[in-house]
Amino acid sequence: MTDIQIERADGRASALAAGSARRLLAGIRFVAPVFGMLLVWELVVRAGLVDGRVLPPPSLIAARGFEMVFDTEHAVLLQHIGHSLYRAVAAFAIAVVVALPLGFWLGLNRTAYNWISPILSVLLPLPAVAWTPIFLVTLGHGDATIISVCFLGAVFPVLYSTIQGVRAIPPHTIWVVRSMGAPRHAIFTKVLVPASLPTVMTGFKLGLAHSWRTLVAAEMLAALSYGLGYMIFAARQYMDTQTMFVGIVLLAMLGFIFEHFLFGTVERATIRRWYAHHRKGG
Amino acid sequence: MSGLTRRTLSAGGMLAAAALALGIGAGSAAAETDTIRIGVQAVPPDELYLARDWLEPYGLKGKITQFSSGGDMLQSFLAGQIDVANGGSARLVTVAANQPDLFYIVSTHQFGGDRYGVIVAPDAPYKTIEDLKGKKIGAVTGSGTFATFGVYLDQHGLSANDFGIVNMKVQEISTAVQQGIIDAGLAWEPHVAIAEASGRAKRIISLKGVNASPNFYLVRRDFADENPEAVAKFIASLLDLTAFVEAHPDQAGELAAGQVSKSGVEVDPKALETAFTRLSFDRKVTDDLLAELVPIAESMKNDNRIKEVPDFASLVRGEYYEKALTLSKAGQ
Amino acid sequence: MTDIASSPACTASRRAFLTRRNREKWMAWLRPVISISVPLLIWELASRLGWINSFLFPPPSQILTALWVQAGPQGRPPYAIFYHVFASMMRIVIGVGLALVVGTVVGMLIALTAWGRAIFRPIISAIMPVPTLAWTPVLLLVFGIDNRTTITVVLIATSFEIIYNVVAGLDMLSKRVFWVARSMGASHTQTFFKVIVPGVLPYLITGLRIGIGFAWRALIAAEMLAASSYGLGFMIFDAAEYFNIDIIFGGIMLIAILGLLLENVVLGRLEAATIKRWGVQVER
């Protein structure tokens, strides 16, 4: 959502080959410093400048990661990843199911919005993790609590963005379409949905990111067995920093994939469909 | 794809069920069950309980969930996730004062102050509790261990305010002591024995004789009323386990060590054998053991944390234990 | 206003307009009060009448009483609430203060120097997707159970947002502005104070506001995980150990109210003031 974008290789005018070469260069320019950092890290630890037990070198972290996939019963690392993904995605899906209709209703109905928005503005800055103790005594430890906490983390960004997206549509657009005799569902599919889509997509992106970020803490507090958050926290018990960093690297990678590729693709697929011809026309 | 949708749906259903449970208070399943949902902790008798299927001779299936501490387990017990839990001290008093209709006390789990100890780093200069004044002590603050520690401090004219008490998970205490993150740690068995055996820490204080700090087995009423047979069978399996530990403490240590190693820690079986010798577990709920809860409840009432001292005797149901005596394979 | 009133008709319509505006103004105040207190009232009733489990969902009046007791000499420890609030606030202020320094320096390096851009951009893009709280176990190993752990969590949570906004702000000041300023004979210091600062400040404030939102969330969770002795997150975690459900809910309420104040009132004011002073608004 707020990443510092790499410079886009803008080789449209030049030949295709030149463009891809430039893209390759951009890729190298992005990857090289990261590799440089890893190399410095490795050397610093190997040279004994930093305690290897606190900050294990990248090579050992990678080795530990492979070991956890190939040398354990049932590929334990994949189990952790699977549980985490399931919880984050389930929470996000429930959040969408709840927030989308609610958001459209609040966005369209001014009275409802006026009455309900004060409650939302109190709940919005409240960290979802703060609810964990309450869920623990009502739902117990495990998936139900974790998914509920992540749901609370994801639902507000989606809801908020949906409301904003719908409210930003000028009312006269709806009046005009309605006065032309368009049926209700057409107003919905032809006006409301396309017009609010960019904002709603931002909300989805934020919602999934929040679900993912909340998950780590929720798993540390409430998981009984699996999950990346649980894995990192449990590793602390044995001072197993290698496992901790395996978890951290995986969280970063999965988060990156969520925030960039997944929604990047969806955004391109949906928003282009509605907006591409506009752009051509302009 | 369909698998994913189904999972998502089931999660949705779970949340809906959760929402219902919030209002109604979750109830457990219907009549005549062959499965009992048991919560256990990471303490030696529970590790041993996990190591072997003790319910198998009675034709009962156990769905056993292991929790990091009694607090976590009681939370899930309140939430209706498990039918059987064990608990004692302040947390049991709180639940008994607020939810007396929720559960019965059917048996004891373990007791004896010797299962609690104060550990320090192997090369630390501290020898007595006075040496630790003003130092950081790691503890699980809601635990029975901590409550007994409070009584111990009382006896020595000290209070928790004389130390920097750091609330943490019990598993972290010994490594935190070793790392010097805290100066001393207060823990229960087997954590003390494991820390000693692994050379991470040494025990300088045992809370033996301070009080018995009994832990009791609690069963949800809705479960016990519908499945009296299952509860008796469960207690019978506990009696078998007790008999086994008394007859073969060495084998018990080995079995429990094998169980602990499944979670990735290698433990010396001797350490667990030591741990078993540091606790008592006669399964009968006696008046003396119950009476231990009263001073805790009284001090909590004085602190306004509970309204009334609960009538603990009214929560006890002895008939399951009596029945278990006739069922137990070891007893015959 | 009275002078302008010339014809009676005009006065009447004006009065009607005023009362309507007045009523709207009143409603704007009244509405939040009603819409928040009605659910609380229903909760109170439901709990008192036994429709919901009053142990798991104690009535709000009991929650407020518990908070009141904890805020007074009868609390455990006495005046506990103030200690908890103070501890959390201190961590936020120090962590965000550090993040301001670190974030501004790194942000300026990225925006103004080629090597800073080459080195920091990719590294930040690689580290940023890590959920802040994933660092807590590592920080616990490095710092122990200590204020340093929670403060570092706040620092991490806030920094990225500040860096991002400083870079965005500086990028907006196109190079030409510098040239113009320099060619008009402005000194280095003048360029800095008259061009860079006013240009970047609104962005910095926006970054700060969003960053503090993240920081507050991260801090509460970090206090629950790296439980030191005080802090609101610690307070609810500790209350859960003892099943003091009323204190858990009280803590949640305090966290919500403080979060609201922090994000909207304090920083909202600050933002409004900078916009007024420098006349720039950042679109986000």
Percent of chain B with pLDDT over 70: 88
Q: Report the CATH number of the B34-111+214-327 domain.
A: 3.40.190.10
Q: Is A26 exposed, middle or buried (0-12, 13-18, 19+ CB in 10 A)?
A: middle
Alpha-carbon gap, residue B65 to C82, rounded angstroms:
38
Residue by residue, DSSP assigns C199-250 as HHHHHHHHHHHHHHHHHHHHHHHHHHHS--S-SHHHHHHHHHHTT-HHHHHH
Buried b (16+ CB within 10 A) or exposed e, C194-210: ebbeebbbbbbbbbbbb
Query: What's the one-letter identity of residue A155?
Result: V
Asked whether residue C12 carries a pLDDT value surpassing 70, the answer given is: no
- Residues facing B118 on adjacent strands: B186, B205
- Domain boundaries in chain C? 1-57, 61-278
C260–A130 C-beta distance less than 8 A: no
On average, the pLDDT of chain C sits at: 82
Identify the CATH class of B113-206.
alpha beta
pLDDT at residue A218, rounded to an integer: 93
pLDDT at residue B29, rounded to an integer: 43
Give me the residue from C53, C57, C227 closest to B167, CB to CB.
C227
Q: Which one has a higher pLDDT value, B69 or B86? A: B86
Alpha-carbon gap, residue B79 to B28, rounded angstroms:
10
Q: How far, rounded to the nearest angstrom, does the alpha carbon of residue C31 sit from its chain's CA centroid?
A: 24
Tell me whether B29 touches chain A (CB under 8 Å).
no
Q: Which residue has the tokens 């463009």?
A: A19
Least confident window among B28-42, B167-181, C197-211: B28-42
Question: For residue B297, which of B288, B307, B289, B287 has the smallest C-alpha distance?
Answer: B307
Tell me whether B277 touches chain A (CB under 8 Å).
no
Residues of C in Cβ contact (< 8 Å) with B136: 145
CA distance B229 to chain A (A): 26
- Residue range B202-215: mean pLDDT, rounded: 89
A220–C131 C-beta distance less than 8 A: no
B75–A236 C-beta distance less than 8 A: no
Q: How confident is the model at residue A237 (pLDDT cuts 50, 70, 90)?
A: low
Tell me whether A93 touches chain B (CB under 8 Å).
yes
What token pair was written down for C227? 């439980």
Question: For residue A97, which of A19, A163, A154 has the smallest C-alpha distance?
Answer: A154
Least confident window among B217-226, C91-100, C232-241: C232-241
pLDDT at residue C9, rounded to an integer: 54
pLDDT at residue C11, rounded to an integer: 61
A217–C126 C-beta distance less than 8 A: no
Q: Which one has a higher pLDDT value, C259 or C264? A: C259
Tell me whether A38 touches chain B (CB under 8 Å).
no
Least confident window among A206-220, B121-135, B201-215, B294-308: B294-308
Chains that touch C (3 or more CB pairs under 8 A): A, B
Tell me whether B8 touches chain A (CB under 8 Å).
yes
Query: What's the one-letter identity of residue C236?
Result: I
pLDDT at residue C252, rounded to an integer: 95
- Residues facing A124 on adjacent strands: none
Same fold for the pair B34-111+214-327 and B113-206: yes
B230-239, B321-330, C74-83, C112-121: which is most confident: B230-239
Query: pLDDT tens, A126-169?
Result: 899 999 999 998 898 889 999 999 999 999 999 999 998 888 88
Q: How far is CA B225 from CA A168, B85, B229, B285, B322, in A?
A: 58, 16, 10, 19, 16
Q: Which one has a higher pLDDT value, B20 or C199? A: C199
Give me the residue from B8, B66, B79 closest to A137, CB to CB.
B79
Q: How far is CA C108 from CA C97, C128, C193, C198, C209, in A?
A: 17, 18, 14, 14, 19
Question: For residue B237, which of B134, B159, B327 has the smallest C-alpha distance?
Answer: B327
Q: How confident is the model at residue C125 (pLDDT cuts 50, 70, 90)?
A: confident
Under 8 Å CB-to-CB from B302, ≥6 apart: which residues? none
Contact C129, A259 (CB under 8 A): yes
Query: What's the one-letter identity of residue B3?
Result: G
Asked whether residue A272 carries a pLDDT value surpassing 60, the answer given is: no
Q: Which residue in chain C has the smallest CA separation from A211? A: C131
Of the residues B99, B146, B305, B306, the best mutation for testing chain C's interface (the one with the most C CB atoms within 10 Å of its CB) is B305
Query: pLDDT tens, B15-24?
Result: 444 444 444 4
CA distance A257 to chain C (A): 9
Give me the residue from C129, C259, C264 closest to A252, CB to CB.
C129
CA distance B168 to chain C (A): 7
- Domain boundaries in chain B? 34-111+214-327, 113-206
On average, the pLDDT of chain B sits at: 83
Q: In this structure, which CATH number among 1.10.3720.10, 3.20.190.10, 1.10.10.10, 3.50.30.10 belongs to the domain C61-278?
A: 1.10.3720.10
